[in-house]
A = this chain, B = another copy of it.
Amino acid sequence: MVTRTDAPTRREQILKEAARLFAERGFHGVGVDEIGAAVGISGPGLYRHFPGKDAMLAELLVGISGRLLTGAKLRLAESGAAADPSAVLDSLIEGHIDFALDDRPLITLHDRELDRLRDSDRKLVRQLQRQYVELWVEVVRELYPALTEPAARSSVHSVFGLLNSTPHLARPGALPGRSVTAELLHRMARGAFAAAGAE
């Protein structure tokens, strides 16, 4: 885990504000002037950093899908080959929760604005998402062999729905404390999987 200490670049500021605005009002509901205003420049100035509005969304979605997948692969790798599937699942859940709690706008965009992408970008994002799901499915099936493959896939999608529900939980600060929320979500995810995997 590397921690950034230098100031964010203008490009990063733009992406962050664009993510927030897209999540709040939808891709088509936000104008380039608004995005510009959010970072203190105005409208067309954005085109010095991005070729177009679509490109911002594309970079956001490809970025989050990639980071989710990379993070999961890392967690899988550092558990070693003969790892306890239960511990691996815990690690995957923990990683996903961190993402959902720390990057709420991105999590929202991720399953909401995918269809606004150019064909090639959409295919890329979908491919990354599919790999991420597949990785979970394998771990879940190892832990709950009774699950058929389609059932395991459905259960994984459903748990994503559960974990990604945080954006709807309340105004940003009104949760009962981050670690408490994280732990509750974690227990519920495990409980949901256990119920799915029961004969």
Q: How many residues of A contact B (CB 8 A)?
A: 44
Within the complex, what minimum Cβ distance (angstroms) separates A162 from chain B? 4
Q: Which residues of B lie under 8 Å from residue A25 when comparing CB positions?
A: 115-116
Q: Is A198 an interface residue (CB 8 A)?
A: yes
When C-beta atoms are compared, the residue in chain B nearest to A26 turns out to be B26
Residues facing B in A142-177 (CB within 8 A) are: 148, 150-151, 154-155, 157-165, 168-169, 175-176
Contact of A28 among B29, B115, B161 (CB under 8 A): B29
- Interchain CB contact under 8 A, B158 and A165: yes
Interface of A is mostly: helix
- Interchain CB contact under 8 A, B28 and A26: yes
Contact of A185 among B113, B150, B158 (CB under 8 A): B158
Contact of A188 among B116, B158, B165, B168 (CB under 8 A): B158
Q: Is A181 an interface residue (CB 8 A)?
A: yes
Q: Is A184 an interface residue (CB 8 A)?
A: yes
Q: Is A192 an interface residue (CB 8 A)?
A: yes
Q: Which residues of B lie under 8 Å from residue A59 when comparing CB positions?
A: none
Contact A162-B192, Cβ < 8 Å, known A154-B176, A157-B168, A184-B155: yes
